[in-house]
C-alpha cells in the first residue's frame, strides 16, 4: 500500500488524507481503513495515469465515506432489532423457563383445586422445586438440541442425549422426593392462593424478559449477531 501512496499526485494524496480522516470520524478501525485504502489506491493510481482524479472515479471524500456511514447505521439498527429477546445468559434462560413452568403449574393446580375438592394438589416446595428442575431440563434441551440444530447441526450427539436423559431422571427424582415431605412442611395453600402465585410468577417472567430481553428456551431460531 505504501508503494501506491508514494505514486499519488498532490491532489490525490490530499484526497486520501481527507478520506482517511472521515473514516476515522465514523469509527473505522486502523485495519478497516487499511483494507479500504488497499482496495481503492490501485484504482486511483491507474486512473491518474489517464489524468483522472480520485474524486472523479470515487466521488468526493464525503460521498465516498457515506457508503460506510450507511453500513454502520444499518448494522446498529440490525443489532438493536436482533437483540430483542436474544439474551442467552444461562442463568436468565433457566430462570425464565422455571418461572414459566411455575406459573403454568400453579395456575392449573390452583384452578383445579377451586373447582374440584378431589383434585390432586401439590405443596409449595414441590411446585417450586419441580418447576426449577423442569426449567433446567428445558434450558438443556435448548442448549444441546435446539441451538445446535438451528446452527446447522442435524444430529443430536450421544453426549447431549445422555445429559438430557440424566436431567430428566433428576427431574423425576426431585419430584418424587418432594412428594415425600410431610404436609406440615410442604404446605398446599388454598386454590385461589396457588393460582395467584402462578399468576405472579408469570408476571415476574414477563417483567424480566422485558428488561433483560431473555431468549426463550423453546426458541429454535439462532441468535443473529452483528
Question: What pLDDT does residue 91 have?
Answer: 93
Q: Is the pLDDT of residue 40 over 90?
A: no
* Model pTM score: 0.59
- pLDDT, mean over the chain: 83
DSSP notation for 95-117: HHHHHHHHHHHHHHHHHHHHH-T
CA–CA separation, 62 vs 26, rounded Å? 11
pLDDT tier, 138 (very low <50, low <70, confident <90, very high otherwise): very high
pLDDT at 206 over 90: yes
What's the N-to-C CA distance of the chain in angstroms?
29
Q: What is the model's pLDDT at position 117? A: 78
> Mind listing the pLDDT tens digit for each residue in 66-117?
887 754 444 554 454 445 667 889 999 999 999 999 999 999 999 998 888 7
Q: Give dist(CA 25, CA 23) in Å, integer.
A: 5
Q: Which of 68, 4, 75, 8 is nearest to 36 (CA)?
A: 68
Q: How far apart are CA 14 and CA 201, in angstroms?
A: 64
Q: What is the pLDDT of residues 46-68, one digit of tens each?
A: 888 888 888 888 888 888 888 87
pLDDT at 152: 61
Amino acid at each position: 500500500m505504501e508503494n501506491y501512496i508514494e505514486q499519488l499526485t498532490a491532489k490525490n494524496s490530499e484526497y486520501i488524507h481527507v478520506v482517511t480522516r472521515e473514516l476515522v470520524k465514523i469509527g473505522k478501525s486502523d485495519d478497516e481503513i487499511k483494507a479500504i485504502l488497499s482496495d481503492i489506491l490501485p484504482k486511483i493510481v491507474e486512473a491518474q495515469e489517464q489524468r483522472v482524479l480520485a474524486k472523479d472515479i470515487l466521488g468526493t471524500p464525503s460521498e465516498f465515506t457515506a457508503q460506510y456511514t450507511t453500513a454502520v447505521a444499518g448494522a446498529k439498527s440490525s443489532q438493536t432489532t436482533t437483540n430483542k429477546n436474544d439474551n442467552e445468559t444461562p442463568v436468565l434462560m433457566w430462570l425464565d423457563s422455571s418461572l414459566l413452568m411455575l406459573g403454568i403449574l400453579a395456575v392449573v393446580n390452583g384452578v383445579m383445586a377451586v373447582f374440584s375438592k378431589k383434585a390432586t394438589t401439590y405443596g409449595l416446595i414441590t411446585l417450586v422445586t419441580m418447576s426449577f428442575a423442569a426449567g433446567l431440563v428445558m434450558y438443556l434441551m435448548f442448549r444441546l438440541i435446539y441451538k445446535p440444530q438451528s446452527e446447522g447441526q442435524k444430529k443430536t450427539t450421544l453426549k447431549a442425549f445422555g445429559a438430557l436423559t440424566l436431567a430428566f431422571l433428576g427431574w423425576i427424582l426431585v419430584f418424587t422426593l418432594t412428594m415425600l415431605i410431610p404436609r406440615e412442611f410442604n404446605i398446599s395453600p388454598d386454590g385461589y392462593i396457588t393460582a395467584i402465585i402462578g399468576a405472579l410468577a408469570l408476571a415476574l417472567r414477563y417483567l424480566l424478559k422485558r428488561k433483560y430481553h431473555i431468549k426463550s428456551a423453546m426458541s429454535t431460531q439462532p441468535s443473529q449477531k452483528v
